[in-house]
């Protein structure tokens, strides 16, 4: 029996965090649908991994292609060539990979999808995390809580956003996958690397050098050592 019930919609990126959120969602909701966004990201391979993950778990998966919209309106090394380890062009306190308002836009897109499916209570799950996070302001708990209010007002529907990883470290997300019996699939079916490198390591696929790979590698080692 599910803890929450009814249907939930999960933002699926093809990375580690949304994979773990999906295992959590399948345990807690009667039905789960996945939504991904294609935004002309430099390494669109992550979308292939999102499709693999959705197929593996047998969940319906919809991809919305917003084309060049974010590229036209935002600077980020996930959109244009550049050093991921540098500061963001418009903000010294943020990494170059920050895509302004990306998360807010994705949450708006997935809420539209649920609204069109005529959900009276829109339930959204996202893998945003404040603990090991890259400093993205739109991944903070305070932002998510305010987005929930904004979407509820804008759609005149009850909207709940669940963030099961908000206070988890990367080591703890590995632990969640392991406890769900899905650690092997997590390693094999996800791609988190900012450079889109698919080379396999003990901790997963990636270049092993970008900030995202370093975080994943460190989290895996921490989890392995505490086991």
Task: Pick the closer one to Zn ion by CB: 15 or 206.
Answer: 206
Q: Which of 35, 114, 151, 210 binds Zn ion (CB under 5 A)?
A: 210
For residues 12 and 30, give the distance between their C-alpha atoms in angstroms, rounded to a whole number: 18
Which residues share a beta bridge with 144? none
Tokens of 89: 């062009």
Minimum CB distance to Zn ion, residue 194 (Å)? 5
Minimum CB distance to Zn ion, residue 197 (Å)? 6
Write the CB contacts of 188 (distance below 8 Å, at least 6 apart in sequence).
none
Q: Which of 70, 79, 129, 213 binds Zn ion (CB under 5 A)?
A: 213
Which of 130-138, 160-168, 169-177, 188-196 is the region at the interface with Zn ion (rule: CB under 5 A)? 188-196
Which of 1-9, 126-134, 179-187, 211-219 is the region at the interface with Zn ion (rule: CB under 5 A)? 211-219
For residues 19 and 37, give the distance between their C-alpha atoms in angstroms, rounded to a whole number: 15
Minimum CB distance to Zn ion, residue 143 (Å)? 25
- 207 counts as binding Zn ion under rule CB under 5 A: yes
Closest Cα to residue 133, out of 48, 219, 49, 227?
Answer: 219
Write the CB contacts of 59 (distance below 8 Å, at least 6 apart in sequence).
10, 22, 26, 32, 33, 34
- 161 counts as binding Zn ion under rule CB under 5 A: no
Count the Cβ atoms, other than its own, within 10 Å of residue 214. Answer: 14
Minimum CB distance to Zn ion, residue 63 (Å)? 23
Residues 84-143 binding Zn ion (CB under 5 A) are none
In the complex, the residues that contact Zn ion under the rule CB under 5 A are 193, 195, 206-207, 210, 213
């Amino acid at each position: 029996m599910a803890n929450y019930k009814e249907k939930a919609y999960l933002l699926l990126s093809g990375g580690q965090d949304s994979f773990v959120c999906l295992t959590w969602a399948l345990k807690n909701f009667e039905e789960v649908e996945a939504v991904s966004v294609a935004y002309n990201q430099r390494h669109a391979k992550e979308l292939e991994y999102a499709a693999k993950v959705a197929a593996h778990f047998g969940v319906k998966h919809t991809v919305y292609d917003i084309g060049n919209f974010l590229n036209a309106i935002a600077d980020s090394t996930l959109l244009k060539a550049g050093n991921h380890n540098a500061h963001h062009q418009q903000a010294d306190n943020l990494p170059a990979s920050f895509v302004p308002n990306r998360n807010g836009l994705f949450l708006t897109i997935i809420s539209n999808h649920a609204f069109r499916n005529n959900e009276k209570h829109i339930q959204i799950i996202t893998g945003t995390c404040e603990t090991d996070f890259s400093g993205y302001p739109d991944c903070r708990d305070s932002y998510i809580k305010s987005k929930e209010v904004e979407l509820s007002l804008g759609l005149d529907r009850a909207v709940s956003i669940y963030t099961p990883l908000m206070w988890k470290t990367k080591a703890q997300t590995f632990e969640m996958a392991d406890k769900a019996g899905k650690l092997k699939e997590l390693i094999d079916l996800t791609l988190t690397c900012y450079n889109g490198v698919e080379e396999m390591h003990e901790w997963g696929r990636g270049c092993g050098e970008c900030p995202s790979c370093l975080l994943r590698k460190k989290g895996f080692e921490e989890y392995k050592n505490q086991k």
